[in-house]
Structure 1
Amino acid sequence: MRLQTKLMAAIGMIFFLSFAVVEFFDYRQIRRDVQRDMYAEAKVLHDFIMATRFVYQRQFLESGLELDENTLGFLPGHALPRIVRHFEQWNNSGLTFNNVSDRPRNPVNRADGIEKEAIRFFKENPTAEEWMDTYHSEEGQRFFQYSTPLWIDSYCLNCHSREGEASPTLRDYYDTDLDYEMEDLAGILSIKLPASILEQRVARQMKQNFFTHLGLFALTFLSISFFLKRFVLRPMEHLKSATTAWEGGDYSVRAAIAGKDEMADISQAFDTMARAVADREESVLRERGFLQSVIDGIADPIMVIDTEFRVLLMNAAAGRDSADLMTEEERLCHRFSHHSDAPCTGEDHPCPLREVLRTGRSVTVVHRHHHQGEERIVELVASPLWRGDGSLLGIIEASRDITARVEAEAKVRESERRLKHLAHHDPLTGLPNRLLFKDRLEHALERARRSGRSLALMFLDLDCFKHFNDSLGHEAGDRILREVAERLNASVREADTVARIGGDEFVIILEEMHDSDEARAVAAKIQKSLLPPVVLGDAEDDAELHITTSIGIAVYPTDGQTAETLMIHADTAMYGAKDCGRDTFKFYS
Structure 2
Amino acid sequence: MAAIGIIFILSFAVVEFFDYRQIRHDVQRDMYAEAKVLHDLIMSTRSVYQKQFLESGLELDENTLGFLPGHALPRIVRQFEQWDKSGLTFNNVSDRPRNPVNKADGIEEEAIRFFKENPRAEEWMETYRSEEGQRFFQYSTPLWIDSYCLNCHSREGEASPTLKDYYATDLDYEMEDLAGILSIKLPASILEQRVARQMKQNFFTHLGLFAITFLAVSFFLRRFVLRPLEHLKSATTAWEGGDYSVRAAVAGKDEMADISQAFDNMARAVADREESVLRERGFLQNVIDGIADPIMVIDTDFRILLMNNAVGRDSTDLMAEEERLCHRLSHHSDTPCFGEDHPCPLREVVRTGRSVTVVHRHYYQGEERIVELVASPLWRADGSLLGIIESSRDITARVEAEATVRESERRLKHLAHHDPLTGLPNRLLFKDRLEHALYRARRSGRSLALMFLDLDCFKHFNDSLGHEAGDRILREVAGRLSASVREADTVARIGGDEFVIILEDMHNSEEARAVAEKIQKGLLPPVILGTREGESGLNITTSIGIAVYPTDGQTAETLMINADTAMYRAKDCGRDTFKFYS
Specify the TM-score bucket, using the shorter chain as the normaliser.
Answer: 0.5 to 0.7
Percent of counterpart pairs with the same letter? 90
Q: CA–CA distance in 2 between the matches of 1:498 and 1:106?
A: 157
Separation in 2, partners of 1:588, 1:85: 170
Q: Which moved more, 1:153-162 or 1:241-250?
A: 153-162
1:224-239 maps to which residues of 2 (within 5 A)? none
C-alpha deviation, 1:564, in angstroms:
0.6
- CA offset at residue 566 of structure 1? 0.8
Counterpart CA distance in 1 for 2:500 and 2:122 is: 107
CA spacing shift, 1:243–1:110, aligned 2, 3 Å: same
From the superposition, tell whether residues 500 and 163 of structure 1 become closer, same or farther in structure 2 (CA, over 3 Å).
farther
Which TM-score applies when normalising by structure 1?
A: 0.53
- Shift of residue 407 of structure 1? 2.4
User: Compared with structure 1, are the counterparts of its residues 376 and 109 closer, same or farther at alpha carbon in structure 2 (3 Å cutoff)?
Assistant: farther
Write the distance in 2 (CA, Å) between the matches of 1:458 and 1:384: 65
Q: Structure 1's 585 and 388: CA in aligned 2 closer, same or farther, altered over 3 A?
A: same
Shift in CA distance, 285/500, structure 1 to aligned 2, threshold 3 Å:
same
Residue number in structure 2 paired with 1:296? 289
- Bigger drift between 363-372 and 448-457 goes to 363-372
CA distance in 1, matches of 2:171, 2:580: 113
Residues 283 and 493 (structure 1), Cα distance of their counterparts in 2 relative to 1, 3 Å cut: same
Q: Offset of 1:493 from its aligned partner? A: 1.4
- Post-superposition shift, 1:446? 0.8
SS in 1 for 2:360: strand
TM-score (norm 2): 0.53
Q: How many residues align?
A: 582
Following TM superposition, by how much is the alpha carbon of 1:249 offset from its aligned partner in structure 2, in angstroms?
A: 7.9
Distance 1:577 1:275, change over 3 A: same
Shift of residue 23 of structure 1?
47
Residue 419 of structure 1 is matched in structure 2 by 412
Identify if the C-alpha distance between structure 1 residues 261 and 63 changes in structure 2 by more than 3 Å, giving closer, same or farther.
Answer: closer
- Following superposition, the deviation at residue 375 of structure 1 comes to 1.9
Q: Which residue of structure 2 aligns with residue 3 of structure 1?
A: none
Shift of 1:472: 0.9
Q: Equivalents in 2 of 1:140, 1:514: separation in Å?
A: 135
Q: Deviations over 1:524-557 (max 9, x none)?
A: 1111111111001111143410111111111111
What's the secondary structure of 1:233's corresponding residue? helix
| Deviation for aligned residue 1:578 | 1.8
Q: After the TM superposition, which of the residue ranges 225-234 and 528-537 deviates more from structure 2? A: 225-234
The question of whether the paired residues in 1 share the 8 Å contact of 2:316 and 2:324 is answered with no
Q: Could you tell me how far 1:171 is from its partner in structure 2?
A: 98
How far the C-alpha of 1:296 sits from its partner, in A, is: 2.0
- Whole-angstrom CA distance in 2 between matches of 1:327 and 1:466: 79
Deviation at 1:488, TM superposition (A): 0.8
Q: Pick from 28, 40, 45: which aligns with 1:35?
A: 28
Shift of 1:587: 1.5
Check conservation: 1:325, 1:331, Cα contact below 8 A: no
160-169 vs 318-327, which moves further = 160-169
Tell me the distance in 2 between the aligned counterparts of 1:503 and 1:105.
169
Greater alpha carbon shift after TM alignment, 109-118 vs 237-246? 109-118
Matched residue, 2:140:
147
Change in Cα spacing, 1:290 to 1:559, as seen in structure 2 (3 Å) is same
SS of the equivalent of 1:70 reads coil
Please give the alpha-carbon distance, in whole angstroms, between the structure 2 residues aligned to 1:26 and 1:272: 50
Q: Distance in 1 between the 2:509 and 2:53 partners?
A: 121
Shift of 1:298: 2.1
Q: In terms of mean alpha carbon deviation, does 37-46 or 163-172 score higher? A: 163-172
More divergent stretch after superposition (271-280 vs 512-521):
271-280
Aligned partners of 1:535 and 1:543 also within 8 Å: yes
**Distance change in 2, residues 1:294/1:37 (3 Å):** same
Question: Which deviations, in whole Å up to 9, do the C-alpha atoms of 1:432-460 show, x marking residues without a partner?
Answer: 10011000110111111112221111111
More displaced 10-residue stretch of structure 1: 495-504 or 207-216: 207-216
Tell me how far 1:342 sits from its aligned partner: 2.3
Q: CA deviation at 1:29?
A: 53
Cα distance in structure 2, aligned partners of 1:576 and 1:293: 86
State which of 104, 111, 118 in structure 2 corresponds to 1:125: 118
Q: Please, which moves more after superposition, 311-320 or 16-25?
A: 16-25
Query: 1:467/1:12 Cα in 2 relative to 1: closer, same or farther (>3 Å)?
Result: farther
The superposition leaves residues 388-433 of structure 1 with CA deviations (integer Å, 9 ceiling, x where unpaired) of: 2222222111122222222223222222222221111111101110
- RMSD of aligned alpha carbons: 20.6
Residue among 167, 185, 188 paired with 2:181: 188
DSSP-derived class of the 1:154 partner: coil
Which moved further from structure 2: 189-198 or 533-542? 189-198
Alignment CA distance shift 1:443-1:33 (3 Å): farther
Aligned equivalents of 2:138, 2:45: Cα separation in 1: 21
Cα deviations across residues 121-170 of structure 1 (Å, max 9, x unaligned)?
Answer: 99999999999999999999999999999999999999999999999999
User: Take 2:170 and 2:545, find their aligned partners in 1: how far apart are those partners?
Assistant: 118
Aligned to 1:573: 566
Q: List runs of 5+ in structure 1 lacking aligned partners.
A: 1-7
Which residue of 2 is the match for residue 264 of structure 1? 257
Alignment CA distance shift 1:268-1:190 (3 Å): closer
Pick closer, same or farther for the CA change 1:276–1:178 going to 2, 3 Å: same
Q: Which structure 2 segments of 5+ residues have no match? A: none
Partner of 1:275: 268
